[in-house]
Structure 1
């Protein structure tokens, strides 16, 4: 954004170049992911595909009719390719997207940001029905306004946004018990690492709370987020043993450190636990190593079969 401000004569052409490149790159990435085994055919698209879409000095430019029409043309192949090849897509707006904030100005900005992601999904052909093709735009249930403020904000979203939104349990504040309070209104994503940080519990697929999360998807295959604490925090920890949160906290470890995602899925015992969800859920690995970490978990599943 600094570059765009400092090079005003070139800024609009640069925006055209970026949007065209990112749309074409998304199609190529989906085509690549489609060659992977079925359980790994998932892509989380980046929020930065369109630079400054909600930024005050660029909003009017992005909303120009010719720009919107062009975006619809270049994003349509992304959705068409994903549906044709059976690749599940998602967005995950940043944690500054707080739909339940107690501050109305933050809610207004968050709605604008969420609808930006909805615009991209709409151009791709999603949002016409409840999580069509498994597409989701996932955010945390965060903000001191809680469930009441979230439901109020939810009613202000576009129909497509309400069809695509999913809510994830948080590791520090709003855990599963909180997200289940909105299960009748939105699909829920179960983040099992967040739940472990929040409670110390290794939840199981048979847990009634997990099954209520499944039911929130209304027949669509649910999504599960999986991660583990960082290797450089739990140095020397036996990879064959699941970490014990209470023991780690008693030893002086801090939740703020333990919550961070690892580079790779180094703990085979945790991987084995996460894989127990595989028959009913799409397991989406959240790790700095991204596709390499996902492959690591998938290969362990093959070895266990």
Structure 2
């Protein structure tokens, strides 16, 4: 009896390249069958290549991009990406506090079966409201205008609640983040209300972490992405760069960190109770501010 062949799990780099090939092909108005005919490749090869489920030979990416009418800049960037080692460590640069536009981040946000996020210093970007995103990006040096509008729209569009993904999605955030009150009261009120509503959705779990909790080795926030057909991946966000980790010992380390965080965090119901009380407090403050302004 033949043993079942273990399915090959795709890497982050393969998925990123595949997503970019699909985007450029669709922009040119070609179907996958058109590419199959022009390249002389089986349709299944095109599908698996764009899904990140197939390894490719040297030169395949350049040939595909040329047929799909990629721009010279796209061709250079993606051929350079293709030549990077696929060793479980990927580094990408991005604007301050905004990794959302990275093709790899978009691929992970829109194509993962589960996401678990820990953010010690801010509200996870997957949970932020439009006014909160706008104020946060402006504080990080982004200029108000069309570019900021596009950034806000991009972040909202890739949130689980916008994509209506089944999940599960689990978020850990520090209670101190909400108590800092760095946003205007009305913005913070809307954000807390959004957290409360989101926490009631199926397979969306929000856990507050006590203000005095700290990991042994403190670091910026991170997210763990999982999918049956892809290797688990940790996105470790820095202010202007993102590190994507896939090696087993890295994923195991961050999984252990999440287990430790979960053991100290509030339950979902405790979090909802605290948010409800805090929302009432913010509403009283807004009412008082309105009365004082008259």
Name the TM-score, length of structure 2 as normaliser: 0.29
- Structure ID, larger Rg: 2
Greater relative contact order (CA < 8 Å, ≥ 6 in sequence) = 2
TM-score by length of 1: 0.29
Return the structure number with greater strand share.
Answer: 2
